[in-house]
């Protein structure tokens, strides 16, 4: 038995008259994630783009050398945000 800093312990019987509730959970599969993402893409493109922007850091995926080469032909400074 592990004691917690609060009044509860793990693996113990509840006190008489105390009602305990299990929190239901649902583990998402990769297929669930794909389906929900696809539905969001089809129904709300601006929200989908916000999700991508908050989830994926393109600066980690695109090498700096690529950005330098791309912007060299335009004469513009490299976009660093």
Q: What is the pLDDT of residues 2-13, one digit of tens each?
A: 444 444 445 555
* DSSP codes of every residue in 22-48: PPP--PPPHHHHHHHHHHHHHH-HHHH
List, for residues 27-81, the tens digit of each pLDDT value: 889 999 999 999 999 999 999 999 888 988 888 888 888 878 877 777 666 665 5
**C-alpha angle 71-73-77 in degrees, rounded to nearest 5:** 30
């Amino acid at each position: 038995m592990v004691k917690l800093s609060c009044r509860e312990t793990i693996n113990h019987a509840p006190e008489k008259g105390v009602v305990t509730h299990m929190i239901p959970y649902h583990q998402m599969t990769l297929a669930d994630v794909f389906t929900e993402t696809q539905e969001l893409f089809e129904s709300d493109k601006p929200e989908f783009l916000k999700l991508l922007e908050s989830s994926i850091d393109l600066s980690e995926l695109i090498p700096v050398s690529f950005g330098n080469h791309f912007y060299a032909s335009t004469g513009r400074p490299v976009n660093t945000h």
